Structure 1
Amino acid sequence: MPLNLNMQFNLLMYSLIAGFITGVLFDIYRGIRGLNSIKVLTVIEDILFWILTALIVFTFLLYTNYAFLTPYVYIFIIISLLIYLRVFSNDFYSIEQLIAKKINKTIRIIFKNIIYPIKIIFSKVIDKSK
């Protein structure tokens, strides 16, 4: 039974969105993974990432278009993923790295400010015990 035009349009749009979701997840994973020198660990991380991504995309498609997995869905997911990687990936990745650096710096400052009074107290206690 052929699908009506509205359902086909929704199928196309949700497939494109699924490709963009895959691209965003890939950029997040790329930021988390960094550069590993251990090849076995990298292979395991990659396999686990793609399994998680497949589950997320399948769940998204299940809830949005009842998981119609036709060849067109795969084609449009790949097309939108390639568009994302060509157009948006570099900007998103640089913004992600900037946010990660700011969060890391904030955590270090907070940690040092919490530890500093403790160091002073311990240094005074140790000095009095001698």
Structure 2
Amino acid sequence: MPLGLNMQINLVVCSLIGGVITGILFDIYRGIRGLNSIKILTIIEDMLFCVLIALIVFTFLLYTNYAFLTPYVYIFIIMAIILYFKFISKYFYNSEMLIAKLSYKLIRILLKNLLYPLKIIAYKITDKRK
């Protein structure tokens, strides 16, 4: 029995959303992974990421369109990934890196300011000139 028009539109939209989710997760992974010099770790991380993405996309499709895995679903997921990387990825990745740098700077400043009184107390306790 052929699917109704509403179900077909739902399949297309959910496939496109699944592709965008895949692209966003890849950008997050790319930011976390950084530049690894150890090749075997990079290979293992990439394989684990692929498994994780497969599980996430399959679960998403299972809940949204009952896991109809037709060739069209894969085509629309690939199209969404390509469009995401072509138009959105550079902005998302740059903003992700900016947020990461600002968070790192904020944490570093907070730790320095919180540890400064402890350093003063430690220097006064260990001061041998008394």
Q: CA deviation at 1:114?
A: 1.1
Secondary structure of the residue that 1:122 maps to in structure 2?
A: helix
User: Alignment partner of 1:88: what SS?
Assistant: helix
Deviation at 1:128, TM superposition (A): 4.9
1:63 Cα offset (Å): 0.4
Runs (4 or more) in structure 1 with deviation over 3 Å come to: none
Which amino acid letter does the alignment assign opposite residue 29 of structure 1?
Y
> Secondary structure, in 3 states, of the residue corresponding to 1:79?
helix
Kindly provide the amino acid, as one letter, of the partner of residue 77 in structure 1: I
Which residue of the partner structure matches residue 91 of structure 1?
91
Q: How many percent of aligned residue pairs carry the same amino acid? A: 68
Give the TM-score of the pair, scaled to structure 1. Answer: 0.97
The alignment covers a number of residue pairs equal to 130
The match for 2:57 is: 57
CA–CA distance in structure 1, aligned partners of residues 52 and 127 of structure 2: 54
Cα root mean square deviation, aligned: 1.0
**AA matched with 2:82:** L
Partner of 1:4: 4
Match of 1:81 in 2: 81
Q: Distance in 2 between matches of 1:63 and 1:129?
A: 71
The letter of the residue matching 1:48 is L
Q: How does 1:1-130 map to 2 (within 5 A)?
A: 1-128=1-128
Consecutive unaligned residues in structure 1, runs of 5 or more: none
Deviation per CA, 1:66-110, whole angstroms, max 9, x where unpaired?
A: 000000000000000000001000010000000000100010011
Structure 2: state its 5+ residue gaps: none
Q: Return the TM-score normalized by structure 2.
A: 0.97
Query: What secondary structure does 2:127 align onto?
Result: helix
